[in-house]
A and B are shown apart, each in its own frame.
Chain A
Amino acid sequence: MSLAFDDYGRPYIILRDQGQKKRMKGLEAYKSNILAAKAIANTLQSSLGPKGMDKMLVSPDGDVSVTNDGATIVEKMEIQHPTAKLLVELSQSQDAEIGDGTTGVVVLAGKLLEQALTLLDKGIHPLKISDGFDRACDVAIKHLEQIAEEIDIQANDHEALIQAACTALGSKVVSKRKRELGKIAVTAVLDVADLTRKDVNLDLIKIQTKTGGSVEDTRLISGILIDKDMSHPQMQKEVTDAKICLLTCPFEPPKPKTKHNINISNAEDYNKLYQQEQQYFIDMVKLVKNSGANIALCQWGFDDEANHLLLQNDLPAVRWVSGTDVELIAMATGARIIPRFQEITPEKLGKAGSIKEVQFGTSNERMLVIENCQCTKAVTILIRGGSQMIVDEAKRSIHDAICVIRNLIKDNRIVYGGGSAELACALQVLQYADEVSSVEQYAVRSFADALEGIPSCLADNCGLNPITSVAQAKSRQLSEKNPRIGIDCMDLGTTDMKEQRIYETLSSKKQQIQLATQVVKMILKIDDVIAPDDY
C-alpha cells in the first residue's frame, strides 16, 4: 500500500507493515480475482468428459500422481492465491457432498467468471451481475427438475445403476473396463445400502489397493480384506467356519496403568514372577481356546512367548489389526469387541464362512480375506493394477462411481449427460432472459452462454468442432423439443443421450450449478483485496 502524507509532509503509518501490504481496489480487484480463478478452471477444462485428459502432479516429496479427478487435481496443485483457493474449496465441497462432478463444477464457475468479465467491461455493477446470475440459476434448477426422469433402480438387475456408474467411470483411465468396475461398484453399494432408509454408509465399503496384476483382476470381496498376515508363518493359512475372537488387549501380561515397580529381593521371587508370567500366557490362550474360537484377531501385539503358545495350541492369530478394521470386522461378523481375556464368552465371537491368507503375484506380501461373514454389512473392493499410479486413479474413479450410485439410491431422478442437460437449461434461461426488464437481463443471458460452455468444452475435448456441434445440438433440441440431445463424444452415431445411456444424477447437476453460482457471486462481491505483498 502506498503511503499517504499529511499536510506537513509526514507519512501516515495507519496499518501495521503498511509498506508491505498490497491493496487492490475496484475494477482491478475484480479482474485480478477473476483471472486467478479462471486460470484454475482452464487447467481443469481439458479433463472434462469421456475424452478428457489426465494431469500428472508431482508433490514436493517427488510423489507422482496421475489423475483426472477435479477435486484431486486442485488439491494437489497446492494453490496459493486466495481467490483461486475458493475454487479449490468449491471442488472439494462438491466432492464431499456428491462425490462426482468435481471437474464440471469448477469449469462452470470458470465460464461464469469469464462471462462476468465481459459484463464488467460493459460497465455493469458487479452486484447486478450476481443478481442476474442468481435469477438465472433458479430458472436453470427449475428446468432441470422438469426434465429430470425418475428411473427404476431395481429394474433389469439394476441396469440403470450400472449405466450411471459407467458414465462416471467413462472419463477415467479405467474406462475400458467400466462395465466390470461399474458392476462391482453397484454390487458393493447394494450390499451395504439400507434401501428402506435410502441411506448408504460409505464407511462400510472398504477400498483396498494392491499393485500388480491388471485392472481386470479387481474384484469384490463380500467380506473384509485386511493387509495383515498370520502372526506366525507356520500357522494354518485357512480357517473355515471361523469363530473369531476380536481382542483389544495385547497378548502380554496385564500391566497396571499406575506407575509401578516390582521389587525382587531373592531368586525365589524371581522364579515365581517368571512362572506367573508364563501362567498368564497359558491362561490367555486357554481362555480364547475354551470359548470355541478358532482364530484370534488382536488390535495390539503379541509377546513372542504368546505367539509360540498360540501356534502350539493350533490357534491362528493376527496381530496389529487397525482400529477401523476391528470395527468393520465386528460389524460384519457380528462379533463383540472384547477388552480383556476374562470377558471372552462364546456369544461374543463373530462368525465367518472362511478366513484365508492370500498371496499376490510373486511378491511376498500376503493379505487376509474374511468371507461369508455372518451379517455381511461390510464389503471390500480390491483394486489391482499395473502401477501405483493406476491403482490410485482407479481407486478415485471407483469412489466416484460409488458416490453416484449412492446418490441414485437416495434420489432416483436422473438427467442425461453429454452436455444435454446444460444445453436444455441454457435454452430455458435464454428464453427467460427476454422477460427481464432491467440490467440483469445481460447477466441472465451470459449465464446461458456460460452453461453452453460445458458442452462446447466437451466437444472440444473429444476433438469435435465445438461451435458446430453445440450449434447442431441446440437447434435439434429446439426443433425436436428433446432435452436429451447432447454431444456425441464417443462417436456412437447418435446424439440422443438416452440412447447412449449417459446418466447423471439430478442432485449432482443441481449441486454443480448452485455451488458454481454461489462461489461466483462471492468472488464478484469482493471489491478490495488487502494482502501481504510477497508474491
Chain B
Amino acid sequence: MSQFLQPTILLLREGTDTSQGRAQIVSNINAVQAVADVVKSTLGPRGMDKMIQTGPKVTISNDGATILNLLEVVHPAARVLVDIAKSQDDEVGDGTTSTTLLAAELLKEAKPFIEEGIHPQIVIQGYRKALELALEKLEGFSINISKDSIESKRDTLIKCAQTALNSKLLANTKQFFSELVVSAVEKLDPNILDRDLIGIKNVTGGNITDSFLVDGVAFKKTFSYAGFEQQPKRFENPKICLLNLELELKSEKENAEIRIEKPEEYQSIVDAEWALIYEKLEIIVKAGAQIVLSKLPIGDLATQYFADRNIFCAGRVAQEDLLRVQKATGGQVQTTVNGLNPETFGTCGLFEEVQVGAERYNLFKNCPQSRTATIVLRGGAEQFIQEAERSLNDAIMIVRRCFKANKIVAGGGAIELEISRFLRHYARSVTGKTQYIVNSFAKALEVIPRTIAENAGLNSIEIMNKLRQKHAQGGEEGRWYGVDINGASGVCDTHQSFVWEPTLVKRNALCSATEAACAILSIDETVKNPKSDQDTKMKPKGQPGRPPMGMRR
C-alpha cells in the first residue's frame, strides 16, 4: 500500500463520494437492475399492481411511469430509468414498463462484456448499430392500416386500446372501455387530437361499467349560494354565456378609499356600487343568456338575480372545464360584459344537472361543434378510480397515436422476437466484437416475452423455445407468434388474436431504452457531493468496506 509513503492529496471536500472506472459501470448496472426488478412483475396481461404509500397517500398502480415516479429513486444512474419511463409516458403514453425492462436487460447483457474488459464505447457502438437495424425492421414488419375503411379502422383502434388495457385493473371490462375510449378520441379534431379536450371525471360509487361518455362536457356542480336551487336545471338548446368575471357585490378596486364629506353622499356611494353589479347582470340578461358560467365566483346576489329570471349559473368553474365548454359549445370566454352580444354565446343540444352517485353533475350534451368528450368514471374506491383513470389515459394516448400513425404491430412479445431473430441472423454476418454485441441486443429483446410468460405463471423456458422455433421457420407464418396467456400451448399468433399495438410505441421504447443503456454505459465516474445529497444522514452507520476518502481501491 502506497499511502505510507506518499501523503494523501485531498482534492475534493471530505465526504465526497467518488467512484470510477469499470467498477462504477458495473455498480450502476446493478443499481438499474434493482429498479427494473420492482416494475418487472407489472408487465403483461397477468401483471400485478404495486401499492405505494407516500405519506398519507396510497397509490395502487400498474403503470410503470407512475410506480417509478413514486419510488423516489435517488441513485443517479437508476434515475435515468425513471426519466426514460417518464419520456415514454409523455411521448406515447403506454409501454413504460417494457421500456424500463428493456433498458435494464440491455445493461445486464452488457455487464459480462464490461467485466471482461471490452471497452464500453464498443458496446455502445454495437448497440447503436443493432438499434438502427431493429428500427428498420420494425418499420418493415409493421402493418399499415391507413387504407382500411372507417369501420375496420375503428375496429383496429379498439383492438389497440384493448391491448393497452389488458394488463390493467380494467382488463375484464376492456371491451366496454376500449369502445368508450375510441368514441372519445373520435370526437376530437382529427388534425390536432388535443388530449386535454378529453376530460376524465371521477365519481366514487357505482359499478365500473356505470361509467359513461358524454359527447360534450361534464363537470361537478360548483359551490353555490342560496337561490341556486330555484334556478332551472334543464335547457334545450340554451344560450351559454362564458365569462371570466366576478359577479359579486364588492369593491371595484382593491385598496381604493373614498372620503365622504357629507352624510347625504353616503347613500349615493352605496347605490353606485349596487348599480355597478346590477348593470352587469342586466346586460347579461338582456343579451339573452340562459346559462352563465364563470371562472370567477358568482355571488349570492347574482345567483338570486339569475334565479328570478330563470337563468342557470355556475361560478368558480375550473379553467380546463371552461375551456372544454368553450370548445364544445363554440362560445367565447368574455372578460367583460361590455359589448356582450349573442354571437359570443355558445350552445348545445341539451343541458342538464344530474345526480351521479353522491355528486351532482352539469352535463352539456349534443354540442354542435363537439370537439370534446368527457368520460365519467365510476368505481368502488378512490384508488380504484384513480388507477382506472391512469389506465384509460394510456389507452387514450395509444388510440390517439394510432389514429395518427396508422401503423401497427402485433404485441405479446411477437415483434420483439421477430426483431431478435433477425438480429441474430444478421450478427453472424459481422466480423469482430460487434457480433457478440448485436447478439446480446437480440437476446435482451427476449426479455419482453419471457417476462410476460413468467408473470402469467407459465413455464417461460418452454414457451421461449416454442416461440423461437415458430419464428425461426420464418416468413409470414411464424412472424406474429407471441405469448398466449389463456390457451393451453402458451403460444399463439397474436396478430390473429388481436393483440395489436401501434408501431410508434415499440419504436419509441426501443430508442429510449437503447439510449438509456448507452448513457449509463458511458458513465465512468460519479462524483457525489455530500452537501447536495440530502440523504447523507440517512446512510446506515459504519458501512463495511467503504473506502476512506482519497484512497483508491
Tell me the A residues contacting B by CB distance below 8 Å.
3-20, 29, 33, 82-83, 85-86, 89-90, 92-94, 96-97, 125-127, 131, 134, 199, 203, 248, 254-263, 269, 272-273, 276, 299, 323-324, 326-327, 330-331, 336-340, 510-511, 514-515, 518-519, 521-522, 525-532
Q: Select the stretch in B222-230, B312-320, B365-373, B403-411 that faces chain A.
A: B222-230
Question: Given the known A-B contacts A518-B208, A530-B51, are A12 and B75 also in contact in the complex, defined by CB atoms under 8 Å?
Answer: yes
Question: Given the known A-B contacts A10-B543, A14-B31, are A93 and B381 also in contact in the complex, defined by CB atoms under 8 Å?
Answer: yes
B66 interface hit (Cβ, 8 Å): no
List 29 contacting pairs A-B, 8 Å CB cutoff, sorted by A: A4-B30, A9-B545, A10-B27, A11-B543, A12-B27, A12-B30, A13-B538, A29-B51, A86-B383, A93-B380, A93-B381, A94-B205, A96-B204, A125-B456, A256-B251, A256-B258, A257-B273, A258-B258, A260-B257, A262-B260, A272-B264, A273-B263, A327-B229, A330-B226, A522-B60, A522-B383, A528-B41, A529-B53, A532-B53
CB atoms of B383 and A89 under 8 A apart: yes
Chain A residues within 8 Å of B207, by CB: 510-511, 514-515, 518
B548 interface hit (Cβ, 8 Å): no
Chain B residues within 8 Å of A261, by CB: 257-260
CB B109 to nearest CB in A, in angstroms, measures: 17
Chain B residues within 8 Å of A134, by CB: 172
* Distance, CA A272 to CA B263, complexed state (A): 7
Question: Given the known A-B contacts A7-B27, A337-B304, A526-B49, are A257 and B205 also in contact in the complex, defined by CB atoms under 8 Å?
Answer: no
Give the residue among A9, A526, A531 with the most B Cβ atoms within 10 A.
Answer: A526
Chain A residues within 8 Å of B50, by CB: 526-530
Chain A residues within 8 Å of B255, by CB: 259
CB atoms of B72 and A8 under 8 A apart: no
CB atoms of B380 and A7 under 8 A apart: no
CB atoms of B26 and A15 under 8 A apart: no
Chain B residues within 8 Å of A16, by CB: 72-74, 535
Question: Given the known A-B contacts A86-B383, A97-B206, are A336 and B304 also in contact in the complex, defined by CB atoms under 8 Å?
Answer: yes
CB B325 to nearest CB in A, in angstroms, measures: 25
* Distance, CA A9 to CA B229, complexed state (A): 70
Task: Please name the residue on chain B nearest to A123 by beta carbon.
Answer: B457
CB B516 to nearest CB in A, in angstroms, measures: 16
CB atoms of B169 and A258 under 8 A apart: no
B301 interface hit (Cβ, 8 Å): yes
The interface on chain B, measured as residues whose beta carbon lies within 8 A of the other chain's beta carbons, has a size of: 90
B23 interface hit (Cβ, 8 Å): yes
Residues B246-302 near A (CB distance < 8 A): 249-253, 255-264, 266-267, 269-270, 272-274, 300-301
* Contact among A11, A125, A127 with B540 in the assembled complex (CB-CB below 8 Å): A11
* Contact among A4, A8, A93, A257 with B357 in the assembled complex (CB-CB below 8 Å): A93
Chain B residues within 8 Å of A511, by CB: 206-207
B466 interface hit (Cβ, 8 Å): no
Question: Given the known A-B contacts A96-B204, A134-B172, A258-B253, are A519 and B260 also in contact in the complex, defined by CB atoms under 8 Å?
Answer: no
Chain A residues within 8 Å of B227, by CB: 327, 330, 337
Chain B residues within 8 Å of A532, by CB: 53-55
CB atoms of B266 and A262 under 8 A apart: yes
Task: Please name the residue on chain B nearest to A7 by beta carbon.
Answer: B26
CB atoms of B48 and A126 under 8 A apart: yes
* Distance, CA A239 to CA B51, complexed state (A): 62
Task: Please name the residue on chain B nearest to A531 by beta carbon.
Answer: B53
Question: Given the known A-B contacts A7-B27, A276-B266, are A19 and B540 also in contact in the complex, defined by CB atoms under 8 Å?
Answer: yes
Chain A residues within 8 Å of B216, by CB: none
* Contact among A94, A260, A323 with B226 in the assembled complex (CB-CB below 8 Å): A323
B358 interface hit (Cβ, 8 Å): yes
CB atoms of A528 and B48 under 8 A apart: yes
Task: Please name the residue on chain A nearest to B74 by beta carbon.
Answer: A16
CB atoms of B58 and A82 under 8 A apart: yes
Question: Given the known A-B contacts A6-B30, A257-B250, A519-B384, are A339 and B301 also in contact in the complex, defined by CB atoms under 8 Å?
Answer: yes
